[in-house]
Amino acid sequence: MPIYEYKCSKCGHISEAWQKFSDSPLNTCELCGGPVGKIISQNT
């Protein structure tokens, strides 16, 4: 399962989520409830 990173456009918090390709993307920040968007992370 891939790890997706999301960034809140309200508070700037970055969170990680283990999700299947078929899972719906996250919509809200776990800290402030603001909207989040997927970000592209660097490969290690």
How far apart are alpha carbons 19 and 37 in whole angstroms? 14
Burial pattern 14-23, b for ≥16 Cβ within 10 A else e, equals eeebeeeeee
Classify 12 in phi/psi space as left (phi over 0), alpha (psi -120 to 50) or beta: left
**What pLDDT was estimated at residue 37?**
97
pLDDT tens, 1-44?
788 999 999 999 999 999 998 999 999 999 999 999 999 877 66
Q: What pLDDT score was predicted for residue 1?
A: 77
* Torsion angles phi and psi, residue 35, rounded to 5: -75, 145
pLDDT of 15 reads 95
Report pLDDT for 34: 98
